[in-house]
Amino acid sequence: MAAKPPTALTVPALGVVPQKRIAVYVVAHNAAQSLSRVLGRIPQPVRERVAEILVFDAGSRDDTYLVGVGYKAVFGHENLTIFRGSEGGLGANSKRALTYCREQGYAIVVLLHADGKYAPEVIADLLAPLERGEVDAVFGSRFLASNPVRHGMPLHKYLAIRLLSALQNRLLGLELSEYHCGYRAYALRAVADLPYDTNSDGLHFDTEIIIQMKQKRLRITEVPVPVYSGEEADAFRGVAYAANVLRVLGQYWLHSRGFREYAKYAVAEKYTYKESPTASHQRILQLLDRDRQHVLDVGCGAGYLAEALAVRGNTVVGVDARRAAGVEERVSRFVQVDLDRETIPWSGPPFAFVVLGDVLEHLREPERLLAQCQSLLADDGRLIVSVPNVAHWSVRLPLLFGRFPYAAKGILDRSHVRFFTLRSARAELDRSGFVVERIETTTAPLEQLFPGRQASPLVRLLTAVQRIGNRWWPGLFAYQIVLRARKRS
C-alpha cells in the first residue's frame, strides 16, 4: 500500500482583523519634496482605521525628517509617528518597522513609499484580503490591470521585470505576475517566525522575504495597483538591483539543493518526507511488510515518515532530540531525548519494528543506540536502518582533488559525525548482535537537482545510468543504504 505523502503545515487563518490593529509603514529616503503629498493622499477612512502611520527617514540627506515633523505639527495627526531610520536602506528600515509593529501587537502592516510611486488611494485594496483572513501577504502588481508600458513604464524596465519574474516563478514554483513592486501588506502573525532580520539591508530584502514566505508556504495574493510614470531611478541602480536579485536567487538554489547553507533560508523543515519511489523513506515502507504494528521511529524529525506509517494502521512512537513543529500531531506519542547522551526512556512493551532512518550518522557512538535496540525490539521484531553511502561517486570524485566538501544536507551533511559504506554499515549491525536479512539501496535524488524536469532527455539518461550502476556496482552508485535486520538468536 503506497503511503500518502504528508501535507505541509500552514499558518492558521488570522480571522477578521479588529479595528486599530493596522499600521502603515512609510519608507522615506530624500523625500522632502514628496512626503507631505503622499501622507495627504492617504484616504481619510483608511487613516481612521489604522492605529499608527510610521514614517522612517532612511538616512536622507535632505530635510525629509523635518518635513515629516512639520506635517504632523500642522495637521495634528495623533497616529502619525516620525522616526529617524538607519542608513541601511529599504531592507534595514523594513526590519526595524516589522519588529516595531510586532512589539506593538499590530496584526497588519502596509509598506508604502514616500516618493509617490505607489498610490496611497488603493491601500484599502491591499488591506481587504488580510482583514478577511484569506491570505498572509498581499502584493501590489502593476501588471494585472493593463500593460504598464502604455502608462509610462520604460520598455527596458518592463522587459527586465518580466524576465526576472519569470525566472523567479520557475525557481520558486509560484505564479505571481510581478515580484518587484514595493507596495505590500503583511499579516504580522504570519511573518513573525521568518528570519527576516538575517536578510540584506538593501532593496533585494523584498525578494528574500518572498523566498522565505514560499518556504513557509504562506498564502500570497496580488491586487492591481496604478503604474507610476514619473522620474525613474538611474540605470546603474537598476542594474545593481537586478544583479543582487540574481545573487540571492542563486543562493536559494544552492541552499535548496543542499550545496551550501544560508541562515536566512533555513526556514522550512530540513529533513522532509521523500516521495520518490526510489527514495529511502519508500524503501523503509517496503521493508515494513506487516501493517498494524507497534513501531518506534527514532530520529522522527517533524514526523512525516511516522504519518505515512500511521496511514497503514501502525501505532508510531516518535523519538528525537528536538521537538519539531507539528510532530505531536503525527505520532501517537513523542519522546524528546538526546541520543548522544541519554538512552530512550521506554518501559512499555517491545516494538515490532524499530526504524533508524538517517540517524546513526549523526551519533558519535551509534553502537550505544544499536545496543539499546536489542531491548526495544520484540524477539521476532525487525530493525530497519538507513544511512548515506560515503563511498558514493559524488564523494569519491572530489577526494581525487583533495576535497571533502561538507554541505547543508546530503551525504556530507555538516551534522554527520560518522560515515558508512555498504560493508561497514553491515559490519556495525553484526557487531551489535543483529543479522542483516535484506539490503536495499537508493540512487541520488535527481528530482531535487532538477525539479520539474524528470521527463527531459538529460535527466532520463542520468536516471538510467544511475539505475544500471546501482544494480551492478552499488558500492559506487548507491546513494543511501537501507538494511533490515533481526536479533541474532
Q: Where in the chain is the domain with CATH 3.90.550.10?
A: 22-265
Give CA separation, 51 vs 106, 131, 133, 451, in Å. 8, 14, 18, 44
pLDDT band at 7 (very low <50, low <70, confident <90, very high): very low
d(CA 344, CA 320): 10
pLDDT band at 88 (very low <50, low <70, confident <90, very high): low
Report, as an integer, the average pLDDT of 25-43.
90
- With a cut of 60, say whether residue 207 has pLDDT above it: yes
Q: What is the pLDDT of residue 437?
A: 95
Q: What is the pLDDT of residue 203?
A: 86
Q: What is the pLDDT of residue 8?
A: 33
For residue 28, what is its C-alpha cell? 522615506
pLDDT digits (tens, 9 = 90+) for 426-437: 999 999 999 999
CATH of 280-487, one of 3.20.20.80, 3.40.50.150, 3.10.50.40, 1.10.10.10: 3.40.50.150
Q: What are phi and psi of 247, to 5 degrees?
A: -65, -45
d(CA 21, CA 47): 12
Q: What is the pLDDT of residue 2?
A: 38
d(CA 261, CA 198): 13
pLDDT digits (tens, 9 = 90+) for 208-249: 999 999 988 899 999 999 987 555 555 667 788 899 999 999
CB 199 within 8 A of CB 252: no
pLDDT digits (tens, 9 = 90+) for 446-480: 766 666 556 677 777 887 888 898 899 999 999 99
The Cα angle at residue 359 between residues 353 and 363, in degrees rounded to 5: 130
Report, as an integer, the average pLDDT of 254-270.
79
| Residues contacting 166, CB < 8 A, separation 6+ | none
- With a cut of 80, say whether residue 250 has pLDDT above it: yes
Q: What is the pLDDT of residue 11?
A: 37
For residue 356, what is its C-alpha cell? 533508524
Q: What is the pLDDT of residue 396?
A: 94
User: Which CATH number is associated with domain 22-265?
Assistant: 3.90.550.10
Q: What is the pLDDT of residue 351?
A: 96
For residue 154, what is its C-alpha cell? 520604460
Q: What is the pLDDT of residue 429?
A: 97
- With a cut of 80, say whether residue 143 has pLDDT above it: yes
Task: Show the beta-strand stretches assigned E in 142-197.
Answer: 184-187
Q: What is the pLDDT of residue 198?
A: 92
d(CA 433, CA 431): 6
Q: Where in the chain is the domain with CATH 3.40.50.150?
A: 280-487
pLDDT digits (tens, 9 = 90+) for 296-328: 999 998 899 999 999 999 999 999 999 988 899
